[in-house]
Structure 1
């Protein structure tokens, strides 16, 4: 009768999944939309209280009888965000998010301070890319000097939610990888990268302690009462949304490739060793199981399709029907969908571009298809780096909002030339957080739970949503992808 709750604090919404492991089914789901404050300078921010209000709303939507059955909570949070707190635990400023590109210049300043991008990779396993937490500190020091002067705790979004739930500070290595400060090979903070960010302040003293992936903490009594939960609920270590989506899609053993189609697009795989690339072609992150998670992230996925839908006054829920009469390649219409700047490829100052318009192909349907294709081509560009490094995969497990679309699923299968499978639980991050809470709680109670076996038992695929590549479409996409790469090379100097 026990329920395990996964909370996914995303960019667009907070989602809650209440999972019953004995029945092997989700007992309830709920969600609450979030606002996003966007600026012309590339800033993307949210207020931490918006997350808390959304979490309260999600629990309020659950039947009280279900809330009484909750034994543990796992939190998944959007990576890279910066939540500044004073010594009393008060939030000092809006949280700058993963998709914030206003700190691009600060990325270079930090890397220059240690001797360049190659030296950053040598020290920590990753360069400081746009959106990473590290770059937000010097930006805050300059633009929000009063907040920086009062800064006593550096938290990521998932850390802050955990702090609100329990009153305790901690960070786990998966999410910590996205700061740019963690030495991912050895799972400890890089003193050199911290000093490069601020040579006059001990930033390490402001960071929460690192904990193991299976750690759990008691919920604060007053929070349990406010949410209508038992006071003995435990909160697991949680992690970044990509780390939780890896668990939620069963990507906890080698050979599985997961793709998340949300506001951002991500590709990630499990590794039992640190997968560091000397050229920094992918993010060499830790995961939230004790292993590692080589990851490709693009900043413009459903961002692009939703922008077209808004421009042309239709809902993306109508997108599949709109594309019924279109063909792979959008009749030559090609979009580089870098509306938020881009991380893969690394063009933080990039902007969206549209090529190949003619009097006959410039239709709403082709424009929508070009946005969707461009988002998938960006991910294919990252995937090629995985393949160049010798990684091999037999199928893709798809999660996120895009996995609900039959056109997205078939397009991914055709562009990558791989079968696509979709787990029954499409919200992989929230479900993964619930499974991590189950795993951590079982271990805390003395059980010798194996996460790979647990994922194999609880992550089930939905065969009706599978897609297989069609040779003719794969060939058409390959020609358009080649054009994508050539246009990408052409515009790089414009946004260097």
Structure 2
């Protein structure tokens, strides 16, 4: 069967992921390889003290992304899809979208990037003896209650970005278990019932009488086939009317779950690092953690297995800003450089820098960074008077900074908790330039890091795989499906830590930790 025939006969599977700066759609066929894609660039806005996207941003972004996908399909294969074998929606995890009984959004969407729920997160963590990070949905809800915000009395439902879009497409308020684990703590199949009872009692005492089981979206595991594209949903996604209703939608997942899927990291003792606007590491646990830590989330895979996650709000945005500066300089010189070539040039030049960056330190905090104890963000750098300040060291420090806060959290897992990991796989935009960020991460973490040839496809491909699993799983577990159907013979490269690089990264981290006090002072 040709690819054109597969498109016409619903032998394709669509994943759409809402990242922080880009919405991406990836279409795969029954070999599970990408055959077409589309994307739409967007940016969050800082309005009235809140990082947010508007509902119009979300709707138009979804439609533009889908239109770009269908145009790519037409250009390559000469057909326009009217249906798919299955599809799925992913997005930035956590955050807070509160709706009344008529589905009106009560306050602007509060994204994961906000660090405005410190009191709520602290009180809930102490109540449950379980870390509730500031970005989790339950922390946002409780903080709004503590603040006495007027909208609270009108709340009928809250949701995440992926859960909201899934609801618009299907009429079902449901999320995958991995996405749910960033809303409220879960067990392997649902929200933790003991924790629900404890938090309900606290919320009731504060005047919030609606039960959490009524407010939160329901929970499904990977492979569930309980939602289908409605006529209204089809029209929302494709205003041209070409797309027909009836397509199965798999449970919506967060970017953590799609990252684990896209890197075949869903079994115990496997892990992945996803690096883009934010950076997070996921290690699938083979035993529970002994303690709980503000720096460590405990979430799940798309099939409910416990995962230790170190999530850092800031990764590549500050680095991207510096690349843009160098691009402007090249333009002024009369010798403009294409963006991909500019990234490669600067990344590869960073490899020639000193392993400790010549005592140059960068903080990439555009927003607060709880893992590093930074309540607010202030990008900054410092260097010692006798340090070696040059372009290679500056840009090496920029790349180190994308993973420095992550290193702080990973040290807790490796050193305090003795978590074991057999493989870590990197994916996301930071790894597009071959062998640079991958080597620095291996040096920093002290373990081998692999990158697959699909590293740049990211979470949208992982979401497409979860959609395919819904109809092609054949009774296999998700890990069995991925191992036997998707990743057999997948090309990858693995880099080991290098002694000089590891020692240099350790030296950078000592300077990084010493300078944090200045970061805190600058952000006041």
TM-score tier after normalising by the smaller chain length: 0.7 to 0.9
Aligned to 1:484: 512
Encode CA deviations 1:246-294: one digit per residue, 9 max, x unaligned: 0111001122220011111111022366546333441111221121221
Q: Does 1:436 align with 2:466?
A: yes
Q: Does 1:410 align with 2:439?
A: yes
Measured after TM superposition, the shift of residue 45 of structure 1 is 0.8
Q: Does 1:397 align with 2:425?
A: yes
Aligned to 1:322: 346
Q: What does 1:313-352 correspond to in 2, within 5 Å?
A: 314=328, 317=340, 318-323=342-347, 324=349, 325-349=352-376, 351-352=378-379
Q: Does 1:379 align with 2:406?
A: yes
Aligned to 2:12: 3
- Determine which of 166, 170, 175 is the counterpart of 2:170: 166
- Determine which of 67, 79, 88 is the counterpart of 1:60: 67
Contact 2:120 2:146 in 1 (8 A): no
Q: CA separation in 2, counterparts of 1:24 and 1:184? A: 27
Q: CA separation in 2, counterparts of 1:180 and 1:311? A: 41
Contact 1:421 1:463 in 2 (8 A): no
Q: Does 1:255 align with 2:269?
A: yes
Q: What does 1:34-433 correspond to in 2, within 5 Å?
A: 34-39=42-47, 41=49, 43-61=50-68, 62=70, 63=73, 65=79, 67-68=81-82, 70-108=84-122, 110-111=123-124, 117-121=125-129, 125-126=130-131, 128-140=132-144, 145-180=149-184, 182=186, 187-189=191-193, 190-196=196-202, 199-201=206-208, 202-204=210-212, 205-216=214-225, 217-225=227-235, 227=238, 228-271=242-285, 274-275=288-289, 277-310=291-324, 314=328, 317=340, 318-323=342-347, 324=349, 325-349=352-376, 351-358=378-385, 361-363=388-390, 365-388=392-415, 389-406=417-434, 407-426=436-455, 427-433=457-463
The normalised TM-score by structure 1 is 0.87
Q: CA separation in 1, counterparts of 2:367 and 2:285? A: 30
Structure 1, 155-164 or 414-423: larger mean CA deviation: 414-423
Measured after TM superposition, the shift of residue 329 of structure 1 is 2.2
Contact 1:442 1:449 in 2 (8 A): no
The two structures, once aligned, show a CA RMSD in angstroms of: 3.0
Measured after TM superposition, the shift of residue 133 of structure 1 is 1.8
Q: CA separation in 2, counterparts of 1:166 and 1:254? A: 33
Encode CA deviations 1:171-204: one digit per residue, 9 max, x unaligned: 3332122224556797435232344456311251
5+ long unaligned stretches in structure 1: 112-116
Q: CA separation in 2, counterparts of 1:266 and 1:461? A: 26
| Change over 3 Å in CA distance of 1:309–1:118 after alignment to 2 | same
Aligned length: 481
Measured after TM superposition, the shift of residue 436 of structure 1 is 1.2
The normalised TM-score by structure 2 is 0.83
| Change over 3 Å in CA distance of 1:154–1:250 after alignment to 2 | same
Contact 1:181 1:194 in 2 (8 A): no
Measured after TM superposition, the shift of residue 105 of structure 1 is 4.1
Measured after TM superposition, the shift of residue 93 of structure 1 is 2.9
Partner of 1:93, secondary structure, is: coil
